[in-house]
Amino acid sequence: MTARALINVPAKARRGEIIEIKTLIAHPMETGFRVGLNGALIARDIITTFRCTYNGEEIFRADFSPAIAANPFLTFFTVATVTGTIELQWEGDNGLSATESAPITVE
Amino acid sequence: MTDDRAKKSATRRDFLAGTARLAAGITLVSVAATKSSRATPATMQAAIRKVVGAAPVRKGKIMIDVPPLVENGNTVPVTITVDSPMTATEYVKSIHLFNEKNPQPNVIGVHLGPRAGKAALSTRIKLADAQKIVAVAQLNDGSFWSDDADVIVTIAACVEDLQ
């Protein structure tokens, strides 16, 4: 199962510059506490982990709970060190796995 | 005749007692259900203790930026900033956010390091009720810092039904 993700990573940065990474992924984030039309609980379906790697090295990780709003939006910062790839990875219930990557040029 | 009446009243008494017991039972069950479906300030404290252990939690260094009054609890924008130089010797290791009245006390836990450059994050959360949210940051020296914010929510999230 995949989900559509939007990411915003600056294409260019100066060495040592602090850059902001913005992420948004289309996902219902069903809490598992809501009652459906048939009176039964709707099964939990959330994104549980988000990970960001910079040239393979983990720089940021987040553990989500059902209290994160639908279509999880997350922004954070990192220092632009070398030219390379920033990879973002989401994992969740029902085998959800989504990966997005963006190249970054550091001058 | 007297016997008959006694029998009748006994049945009525039984019926009334039975109804009362049933009502009491239902109340108990519903109280138990409400208790288990919502976090409380105590469960939030327990969740915080699970993260920090026995270490003292001091106020300061961390700041929650959240609107004090939100209309829709389904998407509440939250920004957490920690005052730290984020160098190799002094940085924030993790930031956790907790709530008092959602079904579960945890909201988000993030792990970062000196490569973050700036210890800050923004996200959108769900809040089931007007409540207090607490953010806790762990620095690399092992100290914990916290901040709290009160949010009034007019339309609750998380527990609403589709019926």
Is residue A52 over pLDDT 70?
A: yes
Contact list in B for residue A61 (CB cut-off 8 A) is 110-112
Closest residue to A31, CB basis, from B119, B158, B162: B158
- Give the range of the structural domain holding residue B1, as residue numbers without chain letter: 1-37
Q: Where are the beta strands (DSSP E) in chain B?
A: 57-59, 62-65, 69-72, 76-82, 92-99, 106-112, 120-125, 131-139, 144-155
CATH number at residue A80: 2.60.40.10
Across the range A23-28, mean pLDDT stands at: 94
Query: Same domain for B122 and B49?
Result: yes
pLDDT value of position A3: 75
Contact list in B for residue A57 (CB cut-off 8 A) is 115
Interface probe for B, chosen from A17, A22, A68 (most Cβ of B below 10 Å), is A68
Give the total number of structural domains in chain A.
1
Q: What is the largest CA-CA distance in chain B?
A: 95
Query: Same domain for B62 and B17?
Result: no
What is the value of ipTM here, to two decimals? 0.90
Model confidence pLDDT, tens digit, residues A85-98? 999 999 999 999 99
Query: How distant is the Cα of A12 from the closest Cα of chain B, in angstroms?
Result: 17
Q: How far is CA B58 from CA A17, A27, A80, B34, B144, in A?
A: 31, 36, 32, 32, 6
Query: Same domain for B72 and B83?
Result: yes
Give the total number of structural domains in chain B.
2
Query: Same domain for B26 and B45?
Result: no
Query: Same domain for B103 and B26?
Result: no
Query: Same domain for B31 and B43?
Result: no
Low-confidence ranges of chain B (pLDDT < 50): 1, 27-36
Subunit contact B126:A69, Cβ cutoff 8 A: yes
Query: Same domain for B148 and B99?
Result: yes
Report how far Cα B147 is from the mean position of its chain's Cα atoms: 15
